[in-house]
Amino acid sequence: MNFDSQTILFYIFALVLLVSGFKVISTKNPVHAALFLVLAFFNAAGIWMLLQAEFLSIALILVYVGAVMVLFLFVVMMLDLDVEHLRNQFKQFLPVATIVGFVIVVEMTVVLVRGFIGSRIPMPLQTPEGESNTMSLGKLIYGDYVFAFEIAGIILLVAIVAAVALTLRRRKDHKSQDVPAQIRTKKEDRVRIVSMPADIANRQDGKK
């Protein structure tokens, strides 16, 4: 079996991608997991570059590494996860996690086996003459797969709203303004008029 430079690069990127993906789910520190996810994104971008999908490769680095990963780090820091508390409840969720993981492994195995058995090695698709890679991808996304693209956008929007909602919980050590209560404030709640006899006021003036 002959190995050219492109095949060797593919196996290197794939190996680092698998190792970094495993470290994302196995590391205990959430910040370290996010950094390993950045490494996984870079190697996935390298594989897409080998497949002549330059637009997807650059978009993965600019969008996911440059924007989404920054959002992940902000969410991890804002949530202030109690890792020790989660570890104490690990055995409680282990049966359900095992069942879900087994189902995912079976489904991925079926997809991979049906995709690779009896099929040839996939070759990079050639773009039509007179079109760039970006133009062809745009026609597919906003033409044939526009409905799926909009559904993906809605799912991402729901994920962003959920992340913001998780950070809005009330904390005992956190001080914040209650804007509705400030708007409903009346002058009687802030100003108190006290009636004092004139002689007491004069005595206080004399002491001064």
138-173 pLDDT, tens digit per residue, is: 888 888 888 988 999 999 899 888 878 877 666 666
Confirm whether 200 is domain-assigned: no
- At 155 the pLDDT is 94
- At 37 the pLDDT is 86
Residue 165's domain comprises: 126-171
Confirm whether 157 is domain-assigned: yes
- At 135 the pLDDT is 80
Structural domains counted in the chain: 1
Confirm whether 164 is domain-assigned: yes
- At 122 the pLDDT is 54
Confirm whether 163 is domain-assigned: yes
Extract the residue ranges of the chain whose pLDDT is less than 50.
Answer: none
- At 28 the pLDDT is 77
- At 139 the pLDDT is 82
Confirm whether 102 is domain-assigned: no
Per the CB < 8 A criterion, the answer to whether 69 and 38 are in contact is yes
